[in-house]
Chain A
């Protein structure tokens, strides 16, 4: 099954040396899981402060600054997992090397068995 793994991150984490500190660990983690065929895609995102949102209000579209949902933690990156089932996806997500970051996994719709 395919899942999207969404990685939570705060903008402070982006700006601090946090990012530099984990860079290597993330690269290594990503490489290993990609090699094993468990990760088939994904990217890191620029901080939420760079986000632009288009939303509807009273029948009209508005372009606004900021992310989809205002929260301390926003999506900092994503990976596409290809694993047998949710338990396998949880195992991959759990091994995400940055302690403290929230990870969400969601199945992709319309995938062939």
Chain B
């Protein structure tokens, strides 16, 4: 199924190149950082090699051992850079000796790379950009297109982040066991944000050949493989699957977003729902609940409901209470209020929602939820005002269309 989706957005060769990059870029960056001890230069060499591959592979075909091809290219680029630099001659020898790939070291190498890119001393946008580039092999223009920001902005974020890694001494190693949970939270936050960005943009004119949601899902499944004892990566992967199962119902024939309440549930992919639930059960058996497992449980409740009205709202409300215990944020309380509406009515929900204005006044979905609740309580004028406020703040195209439709109705 993944392959079909790739082929829709890109040509077959492009899709194959993306798969190779995903598999090889992080592996190569990780190996080079370990050998060279210089994150900045190692990452540059990989990026240059990927660009070289993009130049040759579409015409010449993908080499039989793409990982080796990229390693050889990176080595050649290192030689070009440092031929005259005698201090680096030892480094070039070490590069030449490095077998490709080096399986026993590989798992640790990749984890180290992921944890370095998602180090809490880096700002979130830089963590995301760096992870996409160094671990998943996206190019700077691709990241810029995916996040609708200028290329120069992304390039600058990456330069700054890499400079900080070197100058502040951010280490290239696994977190200590007592730090692992907290450091893993950072990684999961980066993956979740990337997934959401890609998931929302599915029908948008991003012009990107990469599907960010798919990249995030791939990396999450890698994390599950590399950290098999940890339940939260499994929970996040379950959450992604349970959302992706609704892919075919999320947009109508004109590419417009369809809300969960209005989706044709017959289009949902039952096999993927089952996969998601199996993942969630695997996570639950570890006996350590966490926010991603709870969110996956909420998604599972929706996926298993025959229709919006017959959703198990009391269960969803209880799950939001658990989520709020992990993440006591206004956004979680807003979502909880949506569930509360179906358990205790729109008036009760409004009483919860209105005080959130202090923190969520600039968040478009706060106003969209408010609009819904006003409509449900017969306050049409206030509903329209709230919808207009939502529209003024919404940046995503598909969400804007939905709000514009509501205002026209």
Per the bound structure, the CA–CA distance linking A87 and B170 in Å amounts to 7
Shortest Cβ distance from residue A37 to the other chain B in the assembled complex, whole angstroms: 17
Per the bound structure, the CA–CA distance linking A29 and B179 in Å amounts to 21
Q: What B residues does A86 contact at CB under 8 A?
A: 119, 121, 168-171
Q: Which of A85, A86, A91, A107 has the most CB of B within 10 A?
A: A86
Shortest Cβ distance from residue A105 to the other chain B in the assembled complex, whole angstroms: 8
Q: Which residue of B lies closest to A90 (CB)?
A: B121
Scoring A residues 65 to 93 as 1 if CB is less than 8 Å from chain B, else 0, what string do you get? Answer: 00000000000000000001111111100
* A103 interfacial by beta-carbon distance below 8 Å: no
Interface range for A: 10 to 19
Q: Which residue of B lies closest to A3 (CB)?
A: B169
Please tell me which one of the listed residues B169, B175, B176, B179 contacts residue A89 in the complex, with CB atoms under 8 A apart: B169
Per the bound structure, the CA–CA distance linking A81 and B171 in Å amounts to 16
Please tell me which one of the listed residues A84, A106, A107 contacts residue B171 in the complex, with CB atoms under 8 A apart: A84
Judge whether B179 and A87 touch: CB under 8 Å. Answer: yes
Interface residues of B in 139-170 (CB under 8 A from A): 167-170
Judge whether B179 and A107 touch: CB under 8 Å. Answer: no
Please tell me which one of the listed residues B119, B169, B175 contacts residue A107 in the complex, with CB atoms under 8 A apart: B169
Q: How many residues of B contact A (CB 8 A)?
A: 11
Shortest Cβ distance from residue A79 to the other chain B in the assembled complex, whole angstroms: 16
Q: Which residue of A lies closest to B120 (CB)?
A: A90
Shortest Cβ distance from residue B177 to the other chain A in the assembled complex, whole angstroms: 13
* A34 interfacial by beta-carbon distance below 8 Å: no
Q: What B residues does A106 contact at CB under 8 A?
A: 168
Per the bound structure, the CA–CA distance linking A90 and B170 in Å amounts to 10
Scoring B residues 254 to 276 as 1 if CB is less than 8 Å from chain A, else 0, what string do you get? Answer: 00000000000000000000000
Q: What A residues does B168 contact at CB under 8 A?
A: 86, 106-107
Q: What B residues does A90 contact at CB under 8 A?
A: 121
Q: Which residue of A lies closest to B170 (CB)?
A: A86
Q: Which of B169, B170, B173, B176 has the most CB of A within 10 A?
A: B169
Judge whether A87 and B167 touch: CB under 8 Å. Answer: no
Q: What B residues does A85 contact at CB under 8 A?
A: 169-171, 173
Shortest Cβ distance from residue B113 to the other chain A in the assembled complex, whole angstroms: 15
Shortest Cβ distance from residue A5 to the other chain B in the assembled complex, whole angstroms: 13
Q: What A residues does B167 contact at CB under 8 A?
A: 107
Shortest Cβ distance from residue B37 to the other chain A in the assembled complex, whole angstroms: 10
Per the bound structure, the CA–CA distance linking A89 and B167 in Å amounts to 13
Per the bound structure, the CA–CA distance linking A78 and B255 in Å amounts to 58
Q: What A residues does B121 contact at CB under 8 A?
A: 86, 90
Per the bound structure, the CA–CA distance linking A87 and B269 in Å amounts to 44
Per the bound structure, the CA–CA distance linking A89 and B170 in Å amounts to 10
Per the bound structure, the CA–CA distance linking A3 and B175 in Å amounts to 20
Per the bound structure, the CA–CA distance linking A85 and B176 in Å amounts to 13
Per the bound structure, the CA–CA distance linking A3 and B169 in Å amounts to 10
Per the bound structure, the CA–CA distance linking A84 and B167 in Å amounts to 13
Q: Which residue of B lies closest to A88 (CB)?
A: B171
Per the bound structure, the CA–CA distance linking A84 and B168 in Å amounts to 11
Q: What B residues does A98 contact at CB under 8 A?
A: none
Q: What B residues does A1 contact at CB under 8 A?
A: 169
Interface residues of A in 1-23 (CB under 8 A from B): 1, 3
Shortest Cβ distance from residue B122 to the other chain A in the assembled complex, whole angstroms: 11
Q: What B residues does A89 contact at CB under 8 A?
A: 169
Q: What B residues does A107 contact at CB under 8 A?
A: 167-169
Q: Which residue of B lies closest to A106 (CB)?
A: B168
Per the bound structure, the CA–CA distance linking A62 and B166 in Å amounts to 37
Q: Which residue of A lies closest to B165 (CB)?
A: A86
Shortest Cβ distance from residue A60 to the other chain B in the assembled complex, whole angstroms: 34
Per the bound structure, the CA–CA distance linking A85 and B168 in Å amounts to 8
Shortest Cβ distance from residue A36 to the other chain B in the assembled complex, whole angstroms: 16
Scoring A residues 97 to 113 as 1 if CB is less than 8 Å from chain B, else 0, what string do you get? Answer: 00000000011000000
Q: What A residues does B179 contact at CB under 8 A?
A: 87, 91
Shortest Cβ distance from residue A83 to the other chain B in the assembled complex, whole angstroms: 9
Interface residues of B in 108-131 (CB under 8 A from A): 119, 121
List 19 A–B pairs whose Cβ atoms lie within 8 Å, in order of A's numbering.
Answer: A1-B169, A3-B169, A84-B171, A85-B170, A85-B171, A85-B173, A86-B119, A86-B168, A86-B169, A86-B170, A86-B171, A87-B170, A87-B171, A87-B173, A87-B176, A88-B171, A91-B176, A107-B168, A107-B169
- Given A84-B169, A87-B175, A90-B121; 6 other pairs, CB 8 A cutoff: A85-B170, A86-B121, A86-B171, A87-B170, A91-B179, A106-B168
Return the 6 tightest CB-CB contacts between A and B, nearest first. Answer: A85-B171, A1-B169, A85-B169, A86-B169, A86-B170, A86-B168
